[in-house]
Amino acid sequence: MEVRVWRGGATGAFESFEVPRQPSQTVLDVVTHIQRHLDPTLSYRFACRVGMCGSCAMTVNGKPRWTCRTHVDKVAASGRLEIAPLANLPVVKDLVADMREFFDKWARARGQFTPTRTRSDGFAVVNPESSARREADAGVECIGCGVCYAACDVVKWNPDYLGPAALNRAWTLVNDERDGAKAARLDAVSGDAGCHSCHTMMSCTEHCPKHLSPTRSISGLKRMTWRLGKGGE
């Protein structure tokens, strides 16, 4: 199988490699084969190989995907594979994207849990059936892979836009009854860089490998900022 792999930084070119097909082969297997057997200077990022850590996302045949759980069979029907770093992020080298801005935006969206209790208080009792907890549960399995961020057109057009993952994180926290920074968080996620810039194109939801719906979370934030009169006031 011919595999074209991005080499270089922001400027660079695709380089072709011939990789043997294997049963149940993943795109990460292909990249690993190239580095171990064909060109040890190829840079890429991975850790767990089982879809938990969120570090191996790349652009595969034009779409952002988690490469460790993406089978070659599913994405290279024509026998052609083109692998590039994630879009909407600076390229460090080859398949490695610089994730700093992505995670800085989580902090800007106040993605940090702000406790309301101290260590001397008892455990909070959270009803798992409450509507707020269900909303939080629906978004809480994000692994921070950056696929949604790379798939988002608003990120591409507006570099300040916080992006689907950071806004989804904020939504899980404003629905966490133990958290004490709801108003400040709604301020942080409002306006032109925040939830109100989402055009509901659902590219994040379409591409999320964990089948989460950041679009739903962002819509929730819009409703909440309206209802509570919070955000950028």
Partner 1 sequence: MNGRRLWIAQRVTAMILALCVVVHLATIIYAVHGGLGAAQILGRTRGSIAIGGFYALFVVAAAIHGGIGLRTIAMEWLRLGRVSNWLAGLVALALVVLGLRAVVAVVAA
What is the contact surface with partner 1 in residues (CB under 8 A)?
Answer: 154, 157-158, 190-194, 196-197, 222, 225-226, 231-233
- On whether the CB atoms of residues 197 and 167 are closer than 8 A, the answer is no
Nearer to partner 1, 163 or 209 (CB): 163
| Residue 173, helix vs strand vs coil | helix
Nearer to partner 1, 32 or 158 (CB): 158
CA distance 31 to 79: 15
In the complex, least distance from residue 190 CB atom to partner 1, rounded to whole angstroms:
4
Residue type, 168: N
CA distance 211 to 191: 27
Nearer to partner 1, 9 or 191 (CB): 191
* Residue that the structure tokens 């926290």 belong to: 173
Question: Nearest to residue 219, comparing CAs of 187, 192, 193, 197?
Answer: 197
Nearer to partner 1, 66 or 161 (CB): 161
In the complex, least distance from residue 156 CB atom to partner 1, rounded to whole angstroms:
9
Nearer to partner 1, 99 or 193 (CB): 193
Tokens read off for 188: 């942080």
In the complex, least distance from residue 214 CB atom to partner 1, rounded to whole angstroms:
17
CA distance 12 to 15: 9
Give me the helix-helix angle, 164-174 and 100-108, nearest 10°: 30
In the complex, least distance from residue 184 CB atom to partner 1, rounded to whole angstroms:
14
Nearer to partner 1, 19 or 193 (CB): 193
In the complex, least distance from residue 149 CB atom to partner 1, rounded to whole angstroms:
16
- On whether the CB atoms of residues 146 and 102 are closer than 8 A, the answer is yes
CA distance 123 to 118: 10
In the complex, least distance from residue 57 CB atom to partner 1, rounded to whole angstroms:
24
